[in-house]
């Protein structure tokens, strides 16, 4: 899997779409982590319970998109 931070190909709509999806998923994940951190400091168990599954889903979504990026970027490799 590629570890690049930017699309490898210019003018590839699929690269652009995948990276935009990743940006949105990563941003949502970071926001949930910050919310969890705040809830933990406040010892707010209701919020911690509420976001536990959401955080796991976002982390999984982020991983799936990174895999899709790697798979798609491999299609651009010569040979």
Domain boundaries, the chain: 13-76
Q: Is the pLDDT of residue 1 over 50?
A: no
pLDDT of residue 3: 47
Among 16, 14, 10, 54, which residue's Cα sits nearest to residue 32? 54
Q: Is the pLDDT of residue 47 over 80?
A: yes
pLDDT of residue 48: 94
**What span, in angstroms and rounded, lies between the C-alpha atoms of 65 and 24?**
10
**What span, in angstroms and rounded, lies between the C-alpha atoms of 26 and 60?**
11
Q: Which residues contact 21 (CB under 8 A, 6 or more apart)?
A: 65
pLDDT of residue 2: 45
**What span, in angstroms and rounded, lies between the C-alpha atoms of 53 and 19?**
24
Longest dimension (CA), the chain: 55
Average pLDDT across the chain, whole number = 87
Grade residue 4 by pLDDT with cuts at 50, 70 and 90: low
What integer is the mean pLDDT of 50-58? 91
């Amino acid at each position: 899997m590629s570890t690049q931070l930017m699309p490898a190909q210019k003018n590839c709509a699929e690269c652009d779409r995948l990276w935009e999806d990743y940006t949105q998923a990563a941003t949502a994940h970071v926001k949930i982590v910050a919310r969890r951190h705040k809830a933990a400091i406040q010892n707010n168990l209701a919020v911690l319970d509420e976001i536990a599954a959401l955080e796991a889903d976002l982390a999984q979504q982020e991983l799936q998109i990174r895999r899709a990026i790697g798979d798609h970027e491999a299609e651009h490799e010569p040979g």
